[in-house]
Amino acid sequence: MRFAVTELPEEGRNASEVLEDLAAAKVDDRDWRGGRVFSLVYSAGDAVHDLHGEALRLYSAENGLNVLAFPSIGRLSHDLVGWTSSLLGGDETGATGYLTSGGTESLLQAVKVARDAGRARGINRPRIVAARSAHAAFTKAAELFDVELVRVDVDDRFRIDLEQAAAAIDASTIMLIGSAPSYPHGVIDPISELGQLALDHGLLLHVDACLGGLLLPWLVEAGHVNVPFDLTVPGVTSISADLHKYGYASKGVSVILYNDADLARHQLFVTSDWMGGFYASTVMAGTRPAGPVAAAWATMQHLGRTGYRRLAEETWVAARRLIDGVGTIDGLRVLGDPDMTVLTIAADDGRGIDVFAVADRLAEVGGWYLDRQTDPDALHLTVHAGSAAAVEPFLEDLATVVAGIGDERSSDRSAPYATDR
């Protein structure tokens, strides 16, 4: 069976021709540069994307597996973990941590570490309690590492139901999960209360701040958010924060931090049980790209605190305008009173329009791209600094489309996560 789209040539081709083909290959890709893609891409502007490109080029061949051979990668990683830790209260708590390849890997590591900590306590198949809104990566982790994931419901504001979480704890339970914020509704779970529950039962508590970790500190500083979520909350044992989301870094960099060095040690893999000598690694991969590490370092240095404050303010203002604007459109509502800059739009029960049909129309009229989610059917918007200029045109298109949608139904009811073939 043939899977390839393009032939592998017998003779190699000219580099500039190949690059032209690559540029042309993007023809059907979503055009995110104008802010019309409310998903998957975080943009702090063209200058930052150009910087990514340069930094990736400088480190395209080096291998992050061995920081003895490439000590600069070790130093860059150390800086990234240290800066993130400072933003999340780690200086106060003495946190320690690692870089990973992204949010999913940080969550995989959190679960693997919890499993190993549970086994060290004699629990063969540890149990983890998370809300139904916690990221899908927790389910992936549970499958990969053979832990039992118990998902409990959310309350009417889409935050974890604390009574159900408490009731789900049993003798095998090792860890609770809180999100700051959750992906589906952009709301922050009650981390202080979860911390108390964890302390009462001697459990670990991981805060998934993959989405909020690089934005919430600035929103808290500006007085826009006052929900405690970081490493200083009593009971929190670890936290994850993605640099490739609101850190505006190039893809492939997240940070996981632990308040307890003994816990962190479970993430370290060391062996000499083969013929290749001593082998150590702190992540899932062996060979690791160094480019994303360099690009993240360059981005954080380039933006600095002032840059992040400015981007956070722009993003906050854009998100509030969107939330207010959606609220004025008859037939729509925003779910759950979002705490940050991620929001979800559902149909108002009264009119019962199909929001997926709205998304189809928005794509046609303006090239808008929004993720689709279910339970209830809703459209998901991640607002970032690059979205700001698109807010007013989006609200105009949204109002027009909703006014004319009638009882149209969409045939596309799935979130589009594809395979390589």
Ligand X SMILES: Cc1ncc(COP(=O)(O)O)c(C=O)c1O
The binding site for ligand X (CB under 6 A) comprises 102-104, 107, 135, 137, 179, 183, 208, 210-211, 242
The residue among 39 and 72 lying less far from ligand X, judged by its C-beta, is 39
**Cβ-Cβ contacts under 8 Å for 45 (sequence gap 6 or more):** 385, 386
The residue among 130 and 359 lying less far from ligand X, judged by its C-beta, is 130
Rounded-to-5 percentages of helix, strand, coil across the chain: 40, 15, 45
Q: How far is the CB of 105 from ligand X (least distance, A)?
A: 7
CB atoms within 10 A of CB 82: 15
Please give, one letter per residue, the 3-state secondary structure of 100-151. Answer: ECCHHHHHHHHHHHHHHHHHHCCCCCCEEEEECCCCCHHHHHHHHHCCEEEE
Name the token pair of 110.
Answer: 């959190």
The residue among 242 and 339 lying less far from ligand X, judged by its C-beta, is 242
Distance between start and end Cα atoms, the chain? 12
Q: How far is the CB of 103 from ligand X (least distance, A)?
A: 2
Q: How far is the CB of 134 from ligand X (least distance, A)?
A: 8
Pairing of strands 378-382, 342-347: antiparallel
The residue among 210 and 381 lying less far from ligand X, judged by its C-beta, is 210
The residue among 102 and 307 lying less far from ligand X, judged by its C-beta, is 102
**Closest-CB residue for ligand X?**
103
Q: How far is the CB of 108 from ligand X (least distance, A)?
A: 9
C-alpha Rg value of the chain to the nearest Å: 22
Q: How far is the CB of 359 from ligand X (least distance, A)?
A: 18
Q: How far is the CB of 133 from ligand X (least distance, A)?
A: 9
In this structure, the chain runs to a length of 421
Task: Tell me: cis bond preceding 376? Omega within 30 of 0 counts.
Answer: yes
The residue among 211 and 332 lying less far from ligand X, judged by its C-beta, is 211
